A and B are shown apart, each in its own frame.
Chain A
Amino acid sequence: MQNRYRGTAITACFVVGVVLFLTVGQALGQSSTYQAERTTDGKPNLNGIWQTMNTANWDLQDHPAYPGLPIGGAIGAVPPGQGVVVGNDIPYQDWAMEQKDKNFTNRLTEDPEAKCYLPGVPRATYMPYPFQIIQGTEKMLIAYGYAEAVRTVHLDKENPEPAPIDSWMGRSHGTWDGETLVVEVAGFNGEAWLDRAGNFHGSGLRVTERYTPISPNALMYEATLEDPDVYTRPWTIKMPLYRRLEENARLIEYKCIEFSEELLYGHLRKESGQ
């Protein structure tokens, strides 16, 4: 049965891939042949401070505006947005679909973001905060504004090694495919969510990210998620990353722990008058 699904999945992927290829080719026009500026060692230069401009962190899929936080009036509402999932469907297994719905119901207290926990990958990319790529020759560091999240992308190891220990951010290995940086990420602890709508993955997740320069100030970001424990087939999200062009652009620390403490430890607090 699994094989049958796999076959279907491969076919589906192929079809999606072809469609995607055609669509992207048309949509991006000459951008598919864009040659990025080079680093001194001849690789596409991805250095910079980048950020998405979408609502993926609220909900990866197409969604109208809906109520969010029960306080703060319209400030807490969820902004509407077009999905970033290629094909819009997330191919959950039945149990996982139920879990996703449960997560949605409990999102205000159960989303790891509410607890200021590490965001995981790919969510770190489309949190509504900038991140910075520091591109060396052997290692690349991706430092995220949110929660001191950070990833070392190992460019100097030929074969992906098993992660020494499961983690929130996983272990990343990068290779170059022409103009594209391909990063394979695995070794997750399965605790992270994918958005505030409760989309999630398990510890078996493998992410293949593709960072492709499409203009001096934009990268196309694609991430394919495979987790046979949770999904019926691999699926892909896709979105542009924009360079922060402010002259004084800096990555500003966002240490959110203190804002999560009431949620996490409020029940252990000394009651007033006690």
Chain B
Amino acid sequence: MISRNIISGLFVLSLIASPVMIRAADYHHVHVTASSPAKGVEWYTEHMGCEPLADRDDAANCDGVELVFVPQSTSGGSPGTGVNHIGFSVPDLDARMAELEAVGVQGSGVRLQRNEDGTIIRDIPGLFKIAFIFDPWGTRIELVEDEEYLGFHHIHLSATDPAETLAFYRDVMGGEEASLRGMLDGLLFEDVWLLVSQHPEGTMPAQTEGRAIDHIAFMVDSFDTEGPKLRQAGVEFQEEPMVPLNARTQARRAFVMGPDKVRIAVVEAGFAGVEMDLAPVVEADLGPYTTPQTSWGVPDLQGLWRADISHGIPLERPEDVDVAELTQEEAVARREGGTLGGIWGYDREWRDTALGFAPKAVSTQVALVVDPPDGRIPPLTPEGEELAASAATAARAYATNPSAGPEDTTPYVRCITRGLPSMMMPIGYNNGLQIVQGPGYVAITKEMIHETRVIPTEPQAEAGDDLRLWLGVPQGRWNGDTLEVTTTNFNGRASYRGSSADMTLTERYTLLGPELLEYQFTIDDPKVWTAPWTGMFRFSRDAEDGQYELVEYACHEGNYGMEGILTGSRARE
């Protein structure tokens, strides 16, 4: 019924409706953010009953509306924008939600939205039963039990003036006025609804561009005939009709701004999206690189760095992997696994969705451990076995038993520290690392929790043995273009896999290119491990637009989690 097309990297929804002022446009697509198109297709096929398209790998057909999946970082989920959610209708909502609940978040990314009383389904008298979930990348989805319109059911807008917004889509896009069960005024585009709710008073909808639902798209036969009509209807083109770069067909596309800052694409029949290049793998240009110098003559490592490209690399080489490096496809698949597996309690807004999505691409490293060369951590000493076992027991106890007080949780949960080297490791969100240098010092600030290490690069008097700190006492030096930092004097209370207070941590920071910083850490802790071992991963520079900056991560100040943990523990007792 509708030609399925994808638009440059977003999830598009297309519908067709009968024209009112102009010939009715069809929904064509909904442009949705995902961390990989293939994963988006898979997820919506598995959980929402959409179908993969035979000739395209970046979109799924959901009842004639395409969902187009575009890999990109987003600045938030769909709620809060002018396109709050999309809806699907199923014949038996109870059964469907039970299925989804059984699937679980971990590994599937299916996140249910619970009502205040803990239930997940609401029965709206006169309408039908409804429930809400989120996809792994922040798009809110309503599931309804509307037997009249099964499958892709609606696009739900949030408007400051719903009547005016409806009029726009009726007059300009040609939606047909209708009332859903006599209760909700909306528009029909073929058999898919466009519904509008009042946006919360006192706030304005945020623009959809750059959010989980980037835009919605309508199809017209041709801009030659419809373009003038659109203009006549007062539509301002933000981007004139043209064949986009790398488009699969010669059909044109234009962008217009709808009410409530909703980005709308208008495409011609036959439009089939654009070919997206998957981000290339970081083999980068690792040729000789001359590290720039500061004005006082030491290597200049300053800037904002992010560890996103290294998210998902396992610490040790998995037993069944015997290659030196993953292929790009394997690396992308691993990144996706990390994305879906990493979505649990938190709302999408707390996480970098694209979790593993990094503009520079994903690391093909097999393991963080690079020495020993087999990628496996050396055996523990007998004392190390005991320490590691007691650390594991404590972790299990925290995960399963009520916490009597904050001390029963972890230093990370208490917002005290992630410890070293943990605080340097890539994580699901807030991966920023800022390096600022002054003569004789390098300051390294991690965004997560906000922890700063001020590292002297000139020799300092050794710290006394009684000065024991969470992050130890660091001493840096320049070795060629590499910053080497040796840290001792740990208090041992933020143990890394059993590491003791006697650990000596040696780190090496080396620029491999203008946008790539290699980080190596060597753990020497003879009490725990029978030999020193070294891990490595890379940070990429936020060179795109310089927009990334460390925003204050006031962890302890906002640690509602601790109150929740303790309140829950008391309730369980």
Residue positions of A touching B, CB distance < 8 A? 39-41, 45, 47, 115-118, 132-141, 143, 148, 150, 152, 164-165, 167-169, 191, 247-248, 250-253, 255, 257-258, 260-261, 264-265, 268-270, 274
Contact = CB atoms under 8 A, between A and B. Distances in A.
Given A143-B454, A247-B461, A265-B566, 6 more contacts: A40-B294, A152-B549, A258-B407, A265-B405, A268-B405, A270-B569
Contacts of B566: 265, 268-269
Contact of A251 (B407, B454, B567, B570): B454
B415 A257 contact: yes
18 contacts: A40-B439, A133-B438, A136-B437, A136-B438, A140-B436, A141-B434, A141-B438, A143-B452, A165-B552, A169-B552, A248-B460, A257-B416, A258-B414, A268-B567, A269-B405, A269-B566, A270-B569, A274-B573
A126 B415 CA distance: 24
Given A261-B414, A270-B402, A39 B295 contact: yes
Interface stretch (B176-184, B256-264, B275-283, B555-563): B555-563
List 6 tightest A-B contacts by C-beta distance, closest first.
A268-B566, A248-B461, A167-B552, A270-B404, A134-B438, A40-B295
A260 B406 CA distance: 11
B554 A148 contact: no
Interface in B95-130: none
Given A148-B452, A269-B405, A117 B556 contact: yes
B200 interface: no
Contacts of A251: 454
Interface of A is mostly: loop
B452 to A, nearest CB: 5
A270 B469 contact: no
A248 B295 CA distance: 26
Given A139-B436, A164-B551, A265-B405, A134 B443 contact: yes
Contacts of A252: 467, 469
Contacts of A165: 551-552
A190 to B, nearest CB: 13
Contacts of B450: 148, 150
A194 to B, nearest CB: 17
Contacts of B295: 39-41, 137
B436 A257 contact: no
B380 interface: no
B550 interface: yes
Contact of B438 (A135, A260, A268, A270): A135
B237 interface: no
A40 B556 CA distance: 38
Interface in B445-462: 445, 449-452, 454, 456, 460-461
B460 A253 contact: no
B509 interface: no
A264 to B, nearest CB: 8
Contacts of A264: 562
B440 interface: yes
A265 B565 CA distance: 11
Interface residues of B, number: 52
A134 B440 CA distance: 9
Nearest to A187: B552
Contact of A152 (B407, B436, B460, B563): B436
Nearest to A163: B551
Interface string B12-38: 000000000000000000000000000
B488 to A, nearest CB: 13
A47 B443 CA distance: 12
A264 B565 CA distance: 13
Contacts of A134: 436-438, 441-443, 454
Contacts of A116: 556
A257 B551 contact: no
Contacts of B471: 253
Contact of B405 (A132, A133, A270): A270
Given A117-B556, A139-B302, A148-B450, A257 B437 contact: no
B289 interface: no
A261 B405 CA distance: 9
A51 to B, nearest CB: 15
